[in-house]
Copies of this chain bind each other. A is one copy, B any other.
Amino acid sequence: MAQLYRRVALIGLGLIASSMALAMRRAGLAAQITGHAPSAQTREAALELGLVDTAHDSSAAAVAGADLVVLCVPVGAMGPVAEAIGPHLAPGATVTDVGSVKQAVIAAVAPHLPEGVHFIPGHPLAGTEHSGPRAGFAELFENRWCLLTPEGADRDAVERLRALWEGMGAHVEQMDAAHHDLVLAVTSHAPHLIAYTMVGVADDLRRVTDSEIIKYSAAGFRDFTRIAASDPTMWRDVFLTNREATLEILGRFTEELFALQRAIRTGDGEHLHAYFTRTRAIRRGIIEAGQDTDAPDFGRVPRR
């Protein structure tokens, strides 16, 4: 794989940034990687793990001379970070981000970027419930999608960024920022809020102990707790910044849930069976699209 950037600056050194660093190193996509994190402990970990060549306590210092700057901070922190680095960006540099919401990030970041800098918002659809520089691994983006919402950005700059993501193993697609936010509200944001809610309800229930819930969580609930263990700050910001789309989907969700509750109450087995048969078909599509495995043990036991 050819080297694509001379110097990549990672602003924020959590799960996504550390995985990017490892994936870029593996494929030789960047000659040099610099990083910024406010926490000295995080910077030390990033250096120790070889994620970055230099770690800076100032974001301005980290971006100096970089031809690619990647904003890897929670969505709510994107604006302040852009404001801090704006005056220090090299002419012709590309700025991208990895935020889960695109319209709000564009509104917060774009005003702070000088002319001549290419802003190409991005969002890799990959993650785990773990956080921090030690959570990263080079395979995180393999066979996952990265969505770019370039909206008129320089074509060569977009193609170079696409090549970077492809070099890290991802498939790249472009779409409009508003559409991105709606698609993600359905596939990610609403499901996360629902999982958080269910786990909270279980914890509240006096007649069932936490230890019972934990012991007997194999069926169904376990997958919810995995989702509900995601980073609280990141997710708070997602819901506050993708408010409209998330609330729209949640509104439809409660409407549908009430209809199913009513079917249970009235004993309408046909309605339930037809609904469950339909949702089963969607699962087939996901497996055929290669976005999950079909292993009967949920893929948790290694098989070769």
A residues whose Cβ falls under 8 Å from a Cβ of B:
76, 100, 125-130, 135, 137, 139-140, 144-145, 147, 173, 179, 182-184, 186-205, 207-208, 210-230, 232-233, 235-237, 239-240, 243, 246-247, 249-250, 252-254, 256-258, 260-261, 264-265, 267, 269, 272-273, 275-280, 282-286, 289, 291-293, 295-304
**Set of chain B residues within 8 Å of A186, measured between Cβ atoms:** 201-202, 205, 208, 213, 221
Identify which of B128, B201, B279 contacts A228 (C-beta below 8 A): B279
**Set of chain B residues within 8 Å of A227, measured between Cβ atoms:** 220, 223
Nearest CB in chain B: distance from A212 CB, A:
5
Evaluate contact between A282 and B194: CB separation under 8 angstroms: no
Evaluate contact between B260 and A193: CB separation under 8 angstroms: yes
Contacts A183-B208, A240-B272 known; list 14 others, CB within 8 Å.
Answer: A130-B296, A140-B296, A186-B205, A194-B257, A197-B253, A211-B289, A214-B282, A214-B285, A223-B227, A228-B280, A229-B280, A232-B273, A239-B272, A299-B299
Using known A-B contacts A195-B220, A264-B243, determine if residue A254 contacts B252 with beta carbons closer than 8 Å: no
Count this chain's copies in the assembly: 2
A236, B236: Cα distance in complex, Å: 35
Closest to A253 in B: B201
